[in-house]
């Protein structure tokens, strides 16, 4: 997954002190945890055109499936075919910036390894994928 890597590299110059860098990485993780958790309470999200149309159980199941996929990447076709998902839910999750949809392009070099069908659904970043894994582990018992 790319996305955040260039941003992190840009921050290296700003956080050149090891303690500052560690603090920044912790802040980045905390922010991702908060962003991912927002999907657990769709009723509390500010309306962004499309109403949130999923519930906590569906969101947890969706995150669990993505966490089981390599790098959290799944084809759109397979994603919307999940019994607890739909095209409407997928679009809403993307609209609320809880997931990302990517098409195959020359700019998708970070996904060259992916051999499935396109477009794909995936977490916003690897940090968000890790936050999903933590949340699924916490709520799965």
Strands (E), the chain: 74-75, 100-102, 120-122
pLDDT computed for residue 2 by the predictor: 47
Percent residues over pLDDT 70 in the chain:
87
- SS3 of 121, please? strand
Q: Does residue 16 register a pLDDT over 90?
A: no
Average pLDDT over residues 98-119: 90
Short-list 101, 89, 82, 94, CA closest to 56: 89
Dihedral pair phi/psi, residue 26, rounded to 5° = -65, -40
> What value does the mean pLDDT of the chain take?
88
pLDDT computed for residue 72 by the predictor: 97
Q: What is the pLDDT of residues 46-91, one digit of tens each?
A: 988 899 999 999 999 999 999 999 999 999 999 999 999 999 999 9
- Residue 109 belongs to a domain with what CATH number? 1.10.10
Structurally, how many domains does the chain consist of?
A: 1
Q: Residue 93's domain spans which residues?
A: 4-139
Top pLDDT among 79 and 22 is at: 79
Window from 9-13, 41-45, 89-93, 123-127 with minimum mean pLDDT: 9-13
């Amino acid at each position: 997954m790319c996305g955040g890597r260039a941003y992190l590299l840009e921050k290296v110059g700003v956080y050149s002190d090891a303690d500052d860098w560690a603090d920044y990485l912790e802040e980045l993780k905390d922010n991702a945890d908060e962003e991912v958790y927002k999907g657990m309470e769709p009723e509390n999200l500010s309306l962004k055109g499309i109403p949130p149309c999923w519930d906590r159980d569906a969101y947890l199941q969706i995150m669990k499936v993505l966490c089981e996929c390599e790098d959290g990447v799944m084809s759109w076709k397979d994603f919307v075919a999940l019994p607890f998902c739909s095209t409407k839910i997928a679009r809403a999750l993307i609209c609320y910036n809880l997931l990302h949809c990517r098409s195959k392009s020359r700019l998708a070099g970070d996904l060259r390894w992916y051999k499935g069908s396109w477009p794909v659904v995936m977490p916003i970043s690897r940090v968000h994928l890790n936050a999903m894994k933590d949340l699924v582990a916490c709520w799965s018992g």
